[in-house]
């Protein structure tokens, strides 16, 4: 079983969008996939419910209740954990314990980048992160690559001690798909090809580290 934690204390950075997209990717790839929803808003749970009828369904587990770990079926191959806004490193301990890798979405603005620094510092205190036993990858999310702000933000992120493992464009595709319980991985269309390609470096990094 491989577990990927998607986390950032910053609200609205794209945790649920990344979590649901990743879960769909693994489910479409034929893996028995679970999405642990550690956020009381339960956006990811609703997304799972909307695709419950598909062959590529993802099992939602409420990660806010006691002993949530025991509800993960033994034959699960991939676990994605969607975490709540406001949670710092310590708050995430039970989820970090299970994680093989952490993805941290960051929006391309100074406010978001600066707000993510204390979160990363709190993660850096974790023993496994300290020992470099838990890889952390940043994902620049909602990029508008043609804008100066996006380009500057990407440059700024690249100077950090954590690697930027992917860049996802700002596109209504994510907004529309999540509302339907779908993802960019559920369709084989020319229009979505470039968005699927955005994921290639992230998936390659995950393959290498977990
Ligand atoms: N790449 C993207 N392109 C366009 N819209 C996006 C993208 N990523 C996320 N969004 C939108 O931004 C908003 C916030 O995204 P999301 O809910 O995934 O963030 P979050 O970090 O889970 O938020 P919260 O902290 O409230 O849990 C949503 O409306 C989502 O549809
Ligand atoms: Mg969320």
Digit-coded pLDDT (tens) for 6-58: 999 999 999 999 999 999 999 999 999 999 999 999 999 999 999 999 999 99
Which residues make Cβ contacts (< 8 Å) with residue 116, sequence separation at least 6? 8, 9, 10, 13, 104, 106
pTM (2 decimals)? 0.97
Structural domain including 40 reads: 2-209
Question: Which ligand ends up closest to the CA of 145?
Answer: 1
Write the CA distances from 97 to 20, 69, 100, 168, integer angstroms: 21, 11, 8, 27
Domain count, the chain: 1
Q: Is the pLDDT of residue 158 over 90?
A: no
CA of 42 from ligand 2 middle (Å) equals 8
What's the gap in Å between 90 CA and the centre of ligand 1? Answer: 23
- DSSP reduced 3-state for 25: helix
pLDDT digits (tens, 9 = 90+) for 122-156: 999 999 999 999 999 999 999 998 888 888 888 88
- Cβ–Cβ under 8 Å, residues 100 and 4: yes
Q: How many residues does the chain have?
A: 210
Which numbered atom of ligand 1 lies nearest the CA of 172? 4
CATH number for the domain harbouring residue 61: 3.40.50.300
């Amino acid at each position: 079983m491989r577990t990927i934690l998607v986390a950032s204390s910053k609200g609205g950075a794209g945790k649920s969008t990344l979590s649901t997209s990743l879960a769909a990717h693994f489910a479409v790839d034929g893996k028995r996939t679970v999405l642990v929803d550690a956020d009381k808003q339960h956006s990811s749970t609703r997304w799972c419910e909307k695709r419950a009828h598909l062959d590529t369904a993802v099992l939602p587990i409420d990660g806010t209740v006691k002993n949530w770990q025991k509800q993960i079926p033994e034959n699960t191959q991939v676990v994605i954990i969607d975490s709540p806004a406001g949670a710092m490193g310590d708050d995430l301990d039970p989820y970090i314990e299970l994680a093989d890798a952490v993805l941290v979405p960051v929006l391309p603005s100074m406010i978001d980048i600066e707000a993510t620094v204390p979160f990363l510092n709190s993660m850096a205190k974790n023993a496994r992160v300290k020992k470099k036993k838990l890889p952390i990858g940043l994902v620049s999310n909602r990029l508008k690559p043609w804008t100066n702000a996006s380009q500057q933000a990407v440059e700024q992120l690249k100077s950090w001690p954590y690697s930027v493992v992917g860049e996802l464009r700002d596109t209504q595709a994510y907004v529309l798909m999540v509302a339907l319980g779908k993802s960019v991985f559920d369709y084989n269309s020319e229009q979505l090809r470039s968005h699927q390609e955005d994921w290639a470096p992230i998936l390659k990094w995950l393959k290498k580290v977990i």
